[in-house]
Protein backbone atom coordinates (compact mmCIF):
# COMPACT_ATOMS: atom_id res chain seq x y z
CA UNK A 1 0.00 0.00 0.00
CA UNK A 2 1.26 3.48 -0.84
CA UNK A 3 1.31 6.03 1.97
CA UNK A 4 0.89 9.71 1.21
CA UNK A 5 0.89 12.87 3.30
CA UNK A 6 -0.79 15.89 1.79
CA UNK A 7 -1.35 19.49 2.81
CA UNK A 8 -4.23 21.49 1.39
CA UNK A 9 -2.77 24.72 0.01
CA UNK A 10 -6.18 26.13 -0.86
CA UNK A 11 -9.60 24.52 -0.84
CA UNK A 12 -8.84 23.07 -4.26
CA UNK A 13 -5.09 22.57 -4.39
CA UNK A 14 -2.85 20.26 -2.38
CA UNK A 15 0.75 19.07 -2.29
CA UNK A 16 1.41 15.38 -1.70
CA UNK A 17 4.48 13.51 -0.51
CA UNK A 18 4.78 9.77 -0.86
CA UNK A 19 6.07 8.62 2.50
CA UNK A 20 8.17 5.69 3.63
CA UNK A 21 6.94 5.82 7.22
CA UNK A 22 5.71 8.00 10.03
CA UNK A 23 8.64 8.51 12.40
CA UNK A 24 6.81 10.34 15.13
CA UNK A 25 3.53 11.91 16.14
CA UNK A 26 3.02 14.06 19.25
CA UNK A 27 -0.05 15.92 20.29
CA UNK A 28 1.52 18.63 22.47
CA UNK A 29 -0.18 21.23 24.66
CA UNK A 30 -0.02 23.64 21.71
CA UNK A 31 -0.21 21.72 18.47
CA UNK A 32 -0.21 18.48 16.55
CA UNK A 33 3.28 17.50 15.37
CA UNK A 34 4.12 14.83 12.80
CA UNK A 35 7.44 13.71 11.43
CA UNK A 36 7.48 11.62 8.26
CA UNK A 37 10.20 10.08 6.16
CA UNK A 38 9.42 10.83 2.50
CA UNK A 39 10.79 9.37 -0.72
CA UNK A 40 11.90 12.59 -2.39
CA UNK A 41 12.28 15.26 0.30
CA UNK A 42 13.89 13.42 3.22
CA UNK A 43 12.29 13.95 6.60
CA UNK A 44 9.23 16.17 6.70
CA UNK A 45 8.08 18.11 9.77
CA UNK A 46 4.39 18.96 9.87
CA UNK A 47 2.66 21.12 12.49
CA UNK A 48 -1.13 21.33 12.58
CA UNK A 49 -1.35 19.97 9.07
CA UNK A 50 1.09 22.47 7.56
CA UNK A 51 4.53 21.60 6.21
CA UNK A 52 7.16 23.35 8.33
CA UNK A 53 10.29 21.98 6.72
CA UNK A 54 11.78 19.12 4.77
CA UNK A 55 15.41 18.04 4.90
CA UNK A 56 15.75 18.71 1.20
CA UNK A 57 14.65 22.33 0.95
CA UNK A 58 14.93 23.76 4.49
CA UNK A 59 18.24 25.39 3.62
CA UNK A 60 16.46 27.91 1.41
CA UNK A 61 14.10 29.10 4.11
CA UNK A 62 16.68 29.14 6.89
CA UNK A 63 19.37 30.90 4.88
CA UNK A 64 16.86 33.51 3.72
CA UNK A 65 15.38 34.28 7.12
CA UNK A 66 18.84 34.69 8.69
CA UNK A 67 21.54 36.00 6.34
CA UNK A 68 19.82 39.12 4.95
CA UNK A 69 19.20 40.69 8.40
CA UNK A 70 22.57 39.58 9.77
CA UNK A 71 24.46 41.14 6.86
CA UNK A 72 22.35 44.30 7.07
CA UNK A 73 23.22 44.91 10.74
CA UNK A 74 26.51 46.72 11.35
CA UNK A 75 27.76 44.37 14.05
CA UNK A 76 25.31 41.73 15.23
CA UNK A 77 26.38 40.29 18.61
CA UNK A 78 23.22 39.30 20.43
CA UNK A 79 20.52 37.50 18.47
CA UNK A 80 17.00 36.41 19.39
CA UNK A 81 15.06 33.75 17.49
CA UNK A 82 11.35 33.52 18.24
CA UNK A 83 10.00 30.10 17.30
CA UNK A 84 12.39 28.12 15.16
CA UNK A 85 12.37 25.12 17.51
CA UNK A 86 13.70 22.84 14.77
CA UNK A 87 17.03 24.69 15.12
CA UNK A 88 17.52 25.55 11.44
CA UNK A 89 17.58 29.31 11.92
CA UNK A 90 19.98 28.97 14.88
CA UNK A 91 22.31 26.83 12.75
CA UNK A 92 22.51 29.61 10.15
CA UNK A 93 22.93 32.39 12.76
CA UNK A 94 25.86 30.51 14.27
CA UNK A 95 27.71 30.66 10.96
CA UNK A 96 28.20 34.37 11.75
CA UNK A 97 30.58 35.77 14.33
CA UNK A 98 28.01 36.40 17.08
CA UNK A 99 28.28 36.28 20.89
CA UNK A 100 24.96 34.83 21.99
CA UNK A 101 21.83 33.40 20.44
CA UNK A 102 18.60 33.09 22.41
CA UNK A 103 15.98 30.76 20.98
CA UNK A 104 12.50 31.15 22.46
CA UNK A 105 10.24 28.28 21.48
CA UNK A 106 6.83 27.85 23.07
CA UNK A 107 6.62 24.12 22.38
CA UNK A 108 9.32 21.89 23.86
CA UNK A 109 8.03 18.94 21.81
CA UNK A 110 9.22 20.58 18.58
CA UNK A 111 12.72 20.87 20.04
CA UNK A 112 12.68 17.28 21.27
CA UNK A 113 11.57 15.80 17.96
CA UNK A 114 14.13 17.87 16.02
CA UNK A 115 16.98 16.95 18.35
CA UNK A 116 16.12 13.30 18.12
CA UNK A 117 15.39 12.96 14.41
CA UNK A 118 16.70 15.99 12.51
CA UNK A 119 20.41 16.16 13.42
CA UNK A 120 21.41 18.18 10.34
CA UNK A 121 18.92 20.89 11.30
CA UNK A 122 19.14 20.80 15.11
CA UNK A 123 22.95 20.51 15.32
CA UNK A 124 23.41 23.91 16.98
CA UNK A 125 21.65 22.89 20.17
CA UNK A 126 25.09 21.55 21.13
CA UNK A 127 26.68 25.00 20.65
CA UNK A 128 27.41 26.79 23.96
CA UNK A 129 26.45 30.16 22.46
CA UNK A 130 22.87 28.93 22.02
CA UNK A 131 20.48 29.50 24.93
CA UNK A 132 17.12 27.76 24.72
CA UNK A 133 14.08 29.23 26.49
CA UNK A 134 10.85 27.24 26.47
CA UNK A 135 8.55 30.21 26.70
CA UNK A 136 6.00 32.31 24.86
CA UNK A 137 7.87 34.73 22.58
CA UNK A 138 5.23 37.43 23.06
CA UNK A 139 5.98 37.53 26.80
CA UNK A 140 9.73 37.06 26.35
CA UNK A 141 10.20 40.27 24.34
CA UNK A 142 8.44 42.28 27.05
CA UNK A 143 11.09 41.26 29.61
CA UNK A 144 14.30 40.89 27.62
CA UNK A 145 16.08 43.69 25.80
CA UNK A 146 19.09 44.72 23.81
CA UNK A 147 19.01 42.32 20.90
CA UNK A 148 20.75 43.35 17.71
CA UNK A 149 18.71 41.05 15.49
CA UNK A 150 15.35 39.40 16.16
CA UNK A 151 14.29 36.60 13.82
CA UNK A 152 10.65 35.52 13.96
CA UNK A 153 10.45 31.98 12.61
CA UNK A 154 6.87 30.96 13.27
CA UNK A 155 4.07 28.96 11.71
CA UNK A 156 1.52 30.64 9.37
CA UNK A 157 0.10 34.12 10.12
CA UNK A 158 -3.31 32.54 10.74
CA UNK A 159 -3.67 30.17 13.69
CA UNK A 160 -1.70 29.93 16.95
CA UNK A 161 1.08 32.23 15.68
CA UNK A 162 -1.35 35.09 14.94
CA UNK A 163 -0.10 37.06 17.95
CA UNK A 164 3.33 37.31 16.30
CA UNK A 165 1.87 39.38 13.45
CA UNK A 166 0.15 42.17 15.41
CA UNK A 167 1.06 45.86 15.72
CA UNK A 168 1.26 45.49 19.48
CA UNK A 169 3.77 42.66 19.23
CA UNK A 170 5.87 44.67 16.76
CA UNK A 171 5.93 47.60 19.21
CA UNK A 172 7.28 45.32 21.92
CA UNK A 173 9.77 43.76 19.53
CA UNK A 174 11.04 47.21 18.68
CA UNK A 175 11.54 48.02 22.37
CA UNK A 176 13.56 44.86 22.87
CA UNK A 177 15.99 45.79 20.09
CA UNK A 178 19.22 47.65 20.78
CA UNK A 179 19.97 50.82 18.77
CA UNK A 180 20.48 49.98 15.11
CA UNK A 181 18.56 46.71 15.54
CA UNK A 182 16.78 44.83 12.81
CA UNK A 183 14.14 42.12 12.62
CA UNK A 184 13.20 39.52 10.05
CA UNK A 185 10.03 37.46 9.85
CA UNK A 186 8.51 34.92 7.50
CA UNK A 187 5.21 36.20 6.17
CA UNK A 188 3.53 33.63 4.00
CA UNK A 189 2.81 33.21 0.32
CA UNK A 190 2.26 36.38 -1.68
CA UNK A 191 0.80 34.27 -4.48
CA UNK A 192 -2.25 33.02 -2.58
CA UNK A 193 -2.29 35.71 0.12
CA UNK A 194 -0.77 38.98 -1.06
CA UNK A 195 -3.01 40.82 1.41
CA UNK A 196 -1.33 39.10 4.39
CA UNK A 197 2.11 40.13 3.22
CA UNK A 198 0.99 43.72 2.65
CA UNK A 199 -0.70 43.84 6.07
CA UNK A 200 2.53 42.72 7.74
CA UNK A 201 4.37 45.48 5.90
CA UNK A 202 1.85 48.08 6.97
CA UNK A 203 1.78 46.92 10.60
CA UNK A 204 5.58 46.97 10.82
CA UNK A 205 5.67 50.47 9.29
CA UNK A 206 3.90 51.78 12.41
CA UNK A 207 6.97 50.89 14.49
CA UNK A 208 9.88 50.95 12.04
CA UNK A 209 11.15 53.56 9.56
CA UNK A 210 12.20 51.03 6.94
CA UNK A 211 10.38 47.84 5.99
CA UNK A 212 11.38 45.59 3.09
CA UNK A 213 9.57 42.53 1.82
CA UNK A 214 11.75 39.98 0.08
CA UNK A 215 11.10 36.66 -1.63
CA UNK A 216 12.47 33.18 -2.03
CA UNK A 217 11.45 30.08 -3.91
CA UNK A 218 10.59 27.23 -1.52
CA UNK A 219 9.23 24.17 -3.37
CA UNK A 220 7.28 22.58 -0.50
CA UNK A 221 5.41 25.69 0.70
CA UNK A 222 2.09 26.82 -0.79
CA UNK A 223 2.66 28.09 -4.35
CA UNK A 224 6.44 27.82 -3.88
CA UNK A 225 6.66 31.61 -3.70
CA UNK A 226 7.47 32.67 -0.15
CA UNK A 227 7.91 36.05 1.50
CA UNK A 228 9.96 37.43 4.33
CA UNK A 229 10.25 40.91 5.74
CA UNK A 230 13.02 42.96 7.33
CA UNK A 231 12.31 46.04 9.44
CA UNK A 232 14.68 48.55 11.04
CA UNK A 233 15.09 52.24 11.77
CA UNK A 234 18.40 52.07 9.93
CA UNK A 235 18.57 51.99 6.16
CA UNK A 236 18.22 48.40 4.90
CA UNK A 237 21.31 47.73 2.80
CA UNK A 238 24.05 45.13 2.57
CA UNK A 239 26.76 46.30 4.98
CA UNK A 240 29.06 43.31 5.21
CA UNK A 241 30.21 40.59 2.79
CA UNK A 242 29.11 36.98 3.04
CA UNK A 243 32.22 35.08 4.09
CA UNK A 244 31.13 31.47 4.30
CA UNK A 245 29.56 28.95 1.96
CA UNK A 246 25.81 28.93 1.37
CA UNK A 247 23.58 26.89 -0.93
CA UNK A 248 20.87 29.42 -1.89
CA UNK A 249 21.61 32.90 -0.59
CA UNK A 250 24.33 35.09 -2.09
CA UNK A 251 25.00 38.82 -2.27
CA UNK A 252 23.16 39.18 -5.60
CA UNK A 253 20.12 37.47 -4.09
CA UNK A 254 20.24 39.97 -1.21
CA UNK A 255 19.35 42.61 -3.79
CA UNK A 256 17.19 40.63 -6.22
CA UNK A 257 14.99 39.11 -3.50
CA UNK A 258 13.70 42.61 -2.65
CA UNK A 259 12.50 43.30 -6.20
CA UNK A 260 8.79 42.57 -6.08
CA UNK A 261 6.57 41.40 -8.95
CA UNK A 262 3.92 43.89 -10.06
CA UNK A 263 0.95 42.03 -8.58
CA UNK A 264 2.45 42.35 -5.09
CA UNK A 265 3.32 46.02 -5.60
CA UNK A 266 -0.24 46.66 -6.79
CA UNK A 267 -1.75 44.83 -3.82
CA UNK A 268 0.40 46.73 -1.35
CA UNK A 269 -0.80 50.09 -2.75
CA UNK A 270 -4.15 49.20 -1.20
CA UNK A 271 -2.63 49.06 2.30
CB nearest ligand AG3: which residue? 50
Is 153 tagged catalytic?
yes
User: What string of DSSP letters covers the chain?
Assistant: --EEEEEESSSS-EEEEEEEEEEEEEE-SS-EEEEEEESSSSEEEEETTEEEEETTTHHHHHHHHHHHHHHHSSS--EEEEEE-TTSHHHHHHTTS--SEEEEEES-HHHHHHHHHH-HHHHGGGG-TTEEEEES-HHHHHHH---EEEEEEE-S-SSSGGGGGGSHHHHHHHHHTEEEEEEEEEE---TTT-HHHHHHHHHHHHTT-SEEEEEEEE-TTSTTSEEEEEEEESS-----S---S--SS--HHHHHHTTPPPHHHHHHHHT-
Of the residues 32, 97, 153, 179, only one is catalytic, namely 153
Residues that bind ligand AG3 (CB under 6 A): 7, 50-53, 61, 84, 86, 88-89, 153, 155-156, 186, 221-222
136 assigned ligand-binding residue:
yes
Q: Which is closer to ligand AG3, CB of 122 or CB of 175?
A: 122
Q: Which is closer to ligand AG3, CB of 52 or CB of 232?
A: 52
154 assigned ligand-binding residue:
yes
180 assigned ligand-binding residue:
no
Closest contact distance (angstroms) between CB of 9 and ligand AG3 is 7
Q: Which is closer to ligand AG3, CB of 63 or CB of 153?
A: 153
Closest contact distance (angstroms) between CB of 188 and ligand AG3 is 7
87 assigned ligand-binding residue:
no
179 assigned ligand-binding residue:
no
Closest contact distance (angstroms) between CB of 218 and ligand AG3 is 8
- Catalytic sites, residue numbers: 153
Residue positions forming the annotated binding site for spermidine = 62, 86, 153-156
**Which residue numbers belong to the known binding site for S-methyl-5'-thioadenosine?**
31, 105, 136-137, 160
Amino acid sequence: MELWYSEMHTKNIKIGFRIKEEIGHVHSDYQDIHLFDTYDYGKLLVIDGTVQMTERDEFIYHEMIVHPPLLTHRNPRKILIIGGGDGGAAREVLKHDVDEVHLVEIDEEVVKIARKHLPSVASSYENPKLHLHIENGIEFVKKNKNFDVIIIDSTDPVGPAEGLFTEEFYMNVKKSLADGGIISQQCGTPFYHPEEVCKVRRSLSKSFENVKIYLAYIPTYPSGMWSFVMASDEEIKLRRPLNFKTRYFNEEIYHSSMILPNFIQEECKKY
